[in-house]
Structure formats: structure tokens, C-alpha cells
């Protein structure tokens, strides 16, 4: 699954180009109209949001249903299956903000051998939401309250070694969900992704229309709802 979340759309390019045609601040009221931040505000669906921040510029977000894919390891010179993948890997650019999918409290934060920098959130629904291989953490601690869209850290490639070990695999976020047992995150994550793309595409179209009309106030209000600063 690729392309849609971060690709620069014609609508977006047109909207930003049209900013140059809008009246100057002296003509249209106080304060110049500036281009909004490029990070989309999380789209919350039934209390959940997609766990990787999306942007309106060129960026990489890709994932497939790799639940229970074989996990191989080189042991004694031979590749052997040592388990299956109990989660979902979302490829993203290093440093991309990782967001809490749900409301809950941080239950675990720190380093584990295979997961690297990881955050575990006990959701208000009782399930455990697991985010692994982060390059860094947000300003959180065990017990911190989070909501859907709260930054947890940044995408990285930590793990498979002692604290600080990196580069055993490309940057990505591993997402796990555990109830009584680990369950596939793919149905929920893919639904959240589709809804987020749909909502932000509608927002971009409305933004373009406001720019064409020269509606500075409407443009700024919609931009404030559409974009957010999600730096951890």
C-alpha cells in the first residue's frame, strides 16, 4: 500500500500556487497568509487514528498484511524459522512522528533486545498497543496519559542488539495489538489509513476552492483544522 499518504497532489500544488494571487496583508486584513504546516492533523475514527504522521508533501508510507509472516534467523550458518511476525510493519522515512492509535496510558517505555526503543500503551479498551524500533521518544513516562494522535516518538530502525543498536533493517514502525493474545493490526490500521486519506483529500479540495475564491479567513481556518505540528 503506497503513494497516497504522502504524494504531492495537483490540488495541493494548485492551492499553494494560488496563495501567490491572494491579496496582500495590507489589502485583506491583519497578518499575512502563510502556507500551513505540511503535517496532517490525525483523523480520528471511532477513537482511533493511523499511527504514523502523514504529510501533504512527498513522503514514504507503505505497508502490507505481513501478519504471521515467517521470521528467519541465521543460526550455526543455516537460516532457520524462529517464529512468525505478530504485528504489522509500516515503512516510513526516519524521523517521521509515531502517534498513539488509541487513548490510554503508557505502560512500558524503553529498550528491549528485539524491539529497540519501544512504547507500550494500555488502551482504555483494555488492549495493549505496542510501537517498536523508534529512533527516539517523545517527552513521556510510564503512566503518561495519551490520546489518539499523541506523539510517542519517531520512526527508526533500532533493535536486535544492545541499547543503541541500529541498522539491522530499514526504518519502519512495528505495530502490535494484544488482547488475550496478539491479534492482527492490519484490519484496523488499513481502515484508519483509508479514512485518513479520504478525509484529508476532501480537506485539500476545499482548501483549493477557498484559495481560488481568495477567501483568506476561510483558508486560514480550514488550514488550522487540517494541519498540525506533531513534533514529538
In a domain, 1, yes or no: no
In a domain, 216, yes or no: yes
Q: What is the pLDDT of residue 99?
A: 98
pLDDT of 207 strictly over 50: yes
The span from the CA of 82 to the CA of 149, in Å, is 34
SS (HEC) of 62-117? ECCCCCCCEEEEEECCEEEEEEECCCEEEEECCCCEEECCCCEEEEEEEEECCCEE
Q: What is the pLDDT of residue 29?
A: 43
Q: What is the pLDDT of residue 193?
A: 98
Q: What is the pLDDT of residue 30?
A: 40
Q: What is the pLDDT of residue 39?
A: 95
In a domain, 231, yes or no: no
More confident residue, 69 or 118: 118
Which residues fall within 8 angstroms of residue 147, CB to CB, at 6 or more apart? 100, 103
Least confident of 11-20, 133-142, 169-178: 11-20
In a domain, 2, yes or no: no
Q: What is the pLDDT of residue 70?
A: 87
How confident is the model over 10-57, as pLDDT tens digits?
Answer: 444 444 444 444 443 333 444 444 556 789 999 999 999 999 999 988
- Measured in whole angstroms, the distance separating CA 208 from the mean position of its chain's CA atoms is 24
In a domain, 5, yes or no: no
Mean pLDDT of the chain: 86
Total domains present in the chain = 1
Q: What is the pLDDT of residue 34?
A: 55
pLDDT of 7 strictly over 80: no
Least confident of 19-23, 30-34, 118-122, 129-133: 19-23
In a domain, 151, yes or no: yes
More confident residue, 53 or 84: 53
In a domain, 115, yes or no: yes
The share of the chain scoring above pLDDT 90, in percent, equals: 69
How confident is the model over 65-77, as pLDDT tens digits?
Answer: 999 888 877 678 8
Q: Which three cell numbers stand for residue 4?
A: 497516497
Domain range for 84 is: 10-226
pLDDT of 169 strictly over 60: yes
DSSP the chain: --STTT---HHHHHHHHHHTTSPPHHHH-SS---PPPSBBPP--BTTB--SB--BSSS--EE----TT-EEEEEETTEEEEEEE--SEEEEE-TTPEEE-SSSEEEEEEEEETTTEEEEEEEETTS-EEEEEEEEEE-S--TT-EE-TT-EEEEEB-B-SSSTT-B-SS-SEEEEEEESSSEE--HHHHHHHHHHHHHHHHHHHHHHHHHHHHT-HHHHHHHHHHHB-----
pLDDT of 102 strictly over 90: yes
In a domain, 44, yes or no: yes
Q: What is the CATH number of the domain that holds 130?
A: 2.70.70.10
Amino acid at each position: 500500500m503506497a503513494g497516497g499518504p504522502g504524494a504531492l497532489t495537483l490540488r495541493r500544488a494548485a492551492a499553494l500556487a494560488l496563495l501567490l494571487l491572494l491579496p496582500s496583508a495590507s489589502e485583506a486584513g491583519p497578518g499575512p497568509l502563510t502556507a500551513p504546516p505540511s503535517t496532517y492533523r490525525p483523523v480520528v475514527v471511532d477513537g482511533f487514528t493511523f499511527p504514523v504522521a502523514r504529510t501533504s508533501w512527498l513522503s514514504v508510507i507503505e505497508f502490507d498484511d505481513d501478519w504471521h509472516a515467517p521470521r528467519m534467523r541465521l543460526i550455526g550458518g543455516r537460516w532457520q524459522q524462529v517464529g512468525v511476525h505478530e504485528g504489522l510493519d509500516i515503512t516510513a522515512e526516519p524521523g517521521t512522528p509515531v502517534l498513539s492509535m488509541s487513548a490510554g496510558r503508557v505502560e512500558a517505555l524503553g529498550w528491549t533486545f528485539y524491539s529497540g526503543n519501544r512504547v507500550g500503551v494500555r488502551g482504555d479498551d483494555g488492549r495493549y498497543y505496542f510501537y517498536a524500533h523508534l529512533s527516539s521518544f517523545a517527552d513521556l513516562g510510564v503512566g503518561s496519559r495519551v490520546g489518539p494522535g499523541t506523539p510517542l516518538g519517531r520512526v527508526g530502525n533500532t533493535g536486535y542488539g544492545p541499547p543503541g543498536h541500529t541498522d539491522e533493517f530499514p526504518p519502519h514502525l512495528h505495530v502490535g495489538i494484544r488482547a488475550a493474545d496478539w491479534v492482527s493490526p492490519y484490519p484496523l490500521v488499513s481502515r484508519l489509513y483509508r479514512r485518513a486519506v479520504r478525509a484529508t483529500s476532501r480537506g485539500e479540495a476545499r482548501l483549493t476552492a477557498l484559495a481560488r475564491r481568495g477567501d483568506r479567513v476561510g483558508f486560514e481556518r480550514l488550514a488550522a483544522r487540517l494541519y498540525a505540528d506533531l513534533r514529538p
